[in-house]
Amino acid sequence: MNGSRPWWESAVIYQIYPRSFQDSDDDGIGDLNGITERLPYLVDLGVDAIWISPIFRSPMKDFGYDIADYIDIDPIFGTISDFDRLVAAAHARGIKVILDFVPNHSSDQHAWFVESRGSRNNPKRDWYIWRDPAPGGGPPNNWLSEFGGSAWEFDPTTAQYYYHAFLNSQPDLNWRNPQVVEAMREVLRFWLGKGVDGFRADVIWHLIKDAQFRDNPLNPDYHAGRPPNEALVPLYTTDLPEVHDVIATLRRTIDEFPNRLLIGEIYLPVERLVAYYGRDLGGVHLPFNFALLNVRWDARCIQSLIAEYEGSLPEGGWPNWVLGNHDRPRIAGRVGARQATVAAMLLLTLRGTPTIYYGDELGMPQVDISRERVRDPFERNVPGIGVGRDGCRTPMQWEAGENAGFTAAEPWLPLANDWRSNNVAELRGDARSILNLYRRLLRLRKETPALSVGAYRPYAVDEDLLAYYRELNDERLLIVLNLTDRPQALKLEEGAHAKILVSTRAERDGERVPGIVTIVGDEGLVIDLASR
């Protein structure tokens, strides 16, 4: 806790895609012992918590999001003992550990599903979603898989279809069944009992499906080149009102353990996203806010987005921001390497809990994966329209040595072309690097309550320049972000005694500024207005 505040309000979360962070046993795939080995780096960077994408036993059809055993570690990543050592080592360094929780679906190799598909009268039959064929044959309705094709898979053993929102090897659990709810609560309790500090719940808005199994309506805005599942509006398969009761039950489970965090993955417009804070804030603590993943990189658009989000939050709801994750193209690939530094300052100076995606602190690029190296099942199922996620999951770039210091074997995905120059070892020694910018901003957040938990207030905006205050008590900071490559000027408030605390150009740190501040192209500034 920070005074009376929960720890996550002032924390910075760092997402680790474990297959790609550090390989300790030279099989080309990252693992738990590799994460433990790199904890000193995370301490030096200045993050407060690590969120680890799925590490549970899995056939790896969707690289861990198809779980065959919710309370065991996959041998690719190590053992339960390795996990216990990681948690102990992280806690000893003041770092919290957040796990991925995948409640919507299991692997078809999970013992629950093996039993469920055994016969129509199996005790676990209703743990999954089974339906008879349509009257004329074929799938029960028109529901589509997120990964392409029908969301219904015919099982000849029992002559029924089961529902899968993703791969046909990822059958959806039936969250209308109280036995499923209790079994998954026990999964949470198992890991919480091991000292886990929280969970990020995968696709949590998918958990409840329409009890009448009505067809989803056609999407009038669908056009060629978009993922095929978008041809329908998921009216009856996502974001149903009953999902909030399920989430409230999960939250009560989390609350059985002190100071634990529940994050929800929810891709919805802001006005629907904020409902996931729950009645009386009894839902997820942080419904992930992905708005920056898709916003047009324009100052007016970003300010409008911030205003809409801040204005939609329920009373007492704490905001959060995300610039990148394992499903979306890298920020440097979206806005360019120079603007990636401005994006970093935006992420780490907005009000709320930021999540950094591993490697973004290096400006790692989005990697173009050749067809023969594609591993992502989404891209394999729906090729040619740019849905592949491999390009943002490539190995962490640690040094200029063999395979960037990630592994001594062939990496499971190819490295980015720039790894020999763009890596931790090289950037750590360059005071002007994006890595050192992240370090300076993270240090400033820890030293400056106005930045970590203070209020947000807009100052000025046009198409090119975004400026806003962060304030708490006597601390007053002005953040100014130039979203162009052209110099800009901004008049400061009358009588301000201003000093630059952090610039994306390190040589300006500590500079005192007059009544008008000049911001060079692709620059961001954190300015102390209370300076004397």
Same domain, 125 and 139: yes
Tens digits of pLDDT across the chain (532 residues): 445 899 999 999 999 999 999 999 999 999 999 999 999 999 999 999 999 999 999 999 999 999 999 999 999 999 999 999 999 999 999 999 999 999 999 999 999 999 999 999 999 999 999 999 999 999 999 999 999 999 999 999 999 999 999 999 999 999 999 999 999 999 999 999 999 999 999 999 999 999 999 999 999 999 999 999 999 999 999 999 999 999 999 999 999 999 999 999 999 999 999 999 999 999 999 999 999 999 999 999 999 999 999 999 999 999 999 999 999 999 999 999 999 999 999 999 999 999 999 999 999 999 999 999 999 999 999 999 999 999 999 999 999 999 999 999 999 999 999 999 999 999 999 999 999 999 999 999 999 999 999 999 999 888 799 999 999 999 999 999 999 999 999 999 876 789 999 999 999 999 999 889 999 999 999 999 976 5
Same domain, 514 and 462: yes
Dihedral sign from CA coordinates of 279, 236, 122, 203 = negative
Same domain, 244 and 220: yes
Report helix, strand or coil for 490: strand
Same domain, 402 and 524: no
The whole-angstrom separation of Cα 356 and Cα 325 is 8
The whole-angstrom separation of Cα 61 and Cα 80 is 22
The whole-angstrom separation of Cα 124 and Cα 235 is 27
Enumerate the H helices of 135-193 as residue ranges.
Answer: 178-193
Q: Is residue 356 part of a domain?
A: yes
Same domain, 96 and 125: no
For residue 443, give both structure tokens: 């240090």
Same domain, 242 and 267: yes
Same domain, 282 and 201: yes
| Rg of the chain, C-alpha, whole Å | 24
Catalytic residue numbers read 202, 256
Contacts of 527 (CB under 8 A, 6+ apart): 477, 478, 479, 480, 492, 498, 499, 500, 501, 513, 517
**Res 514: pLDDT:** 86
Q: Are 178 and 116 in contact (CB under 8 A)?
A: no
Same domain, 63 and 143: no
Q: Name the strand (E) or helix (H) holding 131.
A: strand 130-131
Q: Count the neighbouring beta carbons within 10 Å of the beta carbon of residue 92.
A: 9
Same domain, 436 and 461: no
Q: Is residue 168 part of a domain?
A: no
The whole-angstrom separation of Cα 505 and Cα 486 is 15
CATH code (residue 503): 2.60.40.1180
Q: Is residue 173 part of a domain?
A: no
Q: Are 61 and 170 in contact (CB under 8 A)?
A: yes
CATH code (residue 138): 3.90.400.10
Contacts of 342 (CB under 8 A, 6+ apart): 335, 481, 482, 483, 504, 522, 523, 524
For residue 352, give both structure tokens: 């709320």
**Res 462: pLDDT:** 82
Contacts of 118 (CB under 8 A, 6+ apart): 157
Residue where one domain finishes, among candidates 385, 410, 440: 440
Same domain, 68 and 126: no
| CA distances for 79 relative to 51, 68, 90, 228, angstroms | 18, 15, 17, 39
Q: Is residue 448 part of a domain?
A: no
Q: How close are the terminal C-alpha atoms of the chain, in Å? A: 32
Contacts of 368 (CB under 8 A, 6+ apart): 391
The boundaries of the domain holding residue 128 are 111-163
For residue 203, give both structure tokens: 């696709």
Same domain, 318 and 426: yes
DSSP per-residue string spanning 247-312: HHHHHHHHTTSTT-EEEE---S-HHHHGGGG-GGG-S-SEE---GGGTS-S-HHHHHHHHHHHHHH
Same domain, 307 and 370: yes
Placement of tokens 């998921």 in the chain: 234
Number of domains in the chain: 3
Residue where one domain finishes, among candidates 163, 186, 202: 163
Q: Is residue 484 part of a domain?
A: yes
Report which of 458, 440, 325, 493 is spatially closest to residue 393, judged by C-alpha positions. 325
**Res 428: pLDDT:** 97
For residue 115, give both structure tokens: 């039993």
Residue where one domain finishes, among candidates 440, 463, 488: 440
CB-based burial, 254-265: b 16+ in 10 Å, e otherwise? beebeebbbbbb
Q: Are 358 and 15 in contact (CB under 8 A)?
A: yes
CATH code (residue 57): 3.20.20.80
